[in-house]
Structure 1
Amino acid sequence: MENRTFAFIKTDKKLVKIFFKDITIIKGLGNYVEISTVSGKKYIYYKSLKELIENLPDKFMRVHNSYIVNLTNIEYFEDNQLVCQDQKIAVAKSYKDCLITALNKMML
């Protein structure tokens, strides 16, 4: 299961298969998270961001107390904000250096 490319989440009384590559942003909503996908769908899932980040692949990074992003789906990063699918997310100071290091590894 180490190299799996998807996960199932329980939402709306059903199990939904989500591919990691399709996830753009995960937003914390207290004990729940809202998972946004490249197709524009949003899923509400009962789990905290802290629990969730431990079970996600390395291409996911926490950039704010309320947000986890998929690094492969970032369009651009500028002025302490990153953009994923026309959604701007503020990057917290405590996460900025780690994000810049990860993005530098992806540069040509």
Structure 2
Amino acid sequence: MEDRTFAFIKTDKKLLKLFFNEINVIKGLGNYVEIHTTRHKKYIYYKSLKDLIESLPQEFMRVHNSYIVNLNNIESFEDNQLISGDLKVTVAKSYRDCLTNTLNKMML
């Protein structure tokens, strides 16, 4: 199961198959998370951001106490703002260096 490309989440009393490459941003809401997808849908899932980041593939990175982003779906990054899909996410100072180093490795 190491190379899996999807996971199931329980939302609205049903199990939903969610492909990792379709996730743009995950926003923390206390013990819940709000998952924003490339299809402009939002899903609420009962899990903390801290627990969720440990079970996500390596293309996901925490960039703020309240946000995890899919590095593959970042459209732009300038100053302390990144754009992923229709969302602007503020990158916290404590995460900026790590994000910048990772993005530099992905440059041509």
> TM-score w.r.t. structure 2 length?
0.99
| SS of residue matched to 1:28 | strand
| SS of residue matched to 2:40 | coil
Name 1:31's counterpart in structure 2: 31
Name 1:69's counterpart in structure 2: 69
State the alpha-carbon separation in 1 of the partners of residues 40 and 82 from structure 2.
18
Cα RMSD between the aligned structures? 0.5
State the alpha-carbon separation in 1 of the partners of residues 2 and 27 from structure 2.
24
Superposed displacement of residue 87, structure 1: 1.3
User: What are the residue-to-residue correspondences of 1:51-62 with 2, within 5 Å?
Assistant: 51-62=51-62
Name 2:45's counterpart in structure 1: 45
State the alpha-carbon separation in 2 of the partners of residues 3 and 73 from structure 1.
19
Superposed displacement of residue 86, structure 1: 2.7
Q: Which contiguous aligned blocks of 4+ residues in structure 1 show a shift greater than 4 angstroms?
A: none
State the alpha-carbon separation in 1 of the partners of residues 2 and 85 from structure 2.
28
| SS of residue matched to 1:57 | coil
Name 2:78's counterpart in structure 1: 78
Unmatched segments (≥5 aa) in structure 2: none
1:29-64 Cα distance to aligned partner (Å, 9 max, x none):
000000010001110000000000000000000000
State the alpha-carbon separation in 2 of the partners of residues 79 and 95 from structure 1.
13
